[in-house]
Amino acid sequence: MIPSLQGLTGLYKLLSDETRLRILMLLTAEPLCVCELCGILDQPQPKVSKNLSKLRDMGIVVDERREKFVFYRLTEQSSYLNQLLKDLSANLPNYPRLLNDRERLADKDKYLTLCTINLE
């Protein structure tokens, strides 16, 4: 489904923030919790949470509580956005920062463990 012009403008405003775009690109691979996103992006928790909140408010991501953690995943709502993210994923070598984030995804469990230690 193609979004309305207003929806399209709102979507591109959200995507114009580097942190939000990086989060979305990571979530194309799999659902992640805030701790994992903070570790992969090397960003403070308040910044990541604020951006996730904006994405959730736009209906782009949904959250799910699993024990002590809140995991985020992309919604299937916007085929336009999903195609855009798919095209970016296919061209990751052109975007070194996004490629680096994807490579750091392999270490996500390390960040979850650090978060657990900090919660106790």
From CA 91, how far away is CA 3, in angstroms rounded?
Answer: 24
Structure letter (DSSP) for residue 4: P
Query: Does the model's pTM come out above 0.85?
Result: yes
- Whether residue 80 has pLDDT greater than 70: yes
Instruction: Give per-residue pLDDT as tens, 9-26.
Output: 888 888 899 999 999 999
Whose CA is closest to 24, among 79, 74, 84, 70? 74
Q: What is the mean pLDDT of the chain?
A: 88
Please tell me the CATH code under which domain 5-119 is placed. Answer: 1.10.10.10
Tokens 């990571």, residue?
26
Instruction: Give per-residue pLDDT as tens, 93-112.
Output: 999 999 999 999 998 988 87
Q: What percent of the chain has pLDDT over 90?
A: 59
Given pLDDT bands bounded at 50, 70 and 90, which one contains residue 81? confident
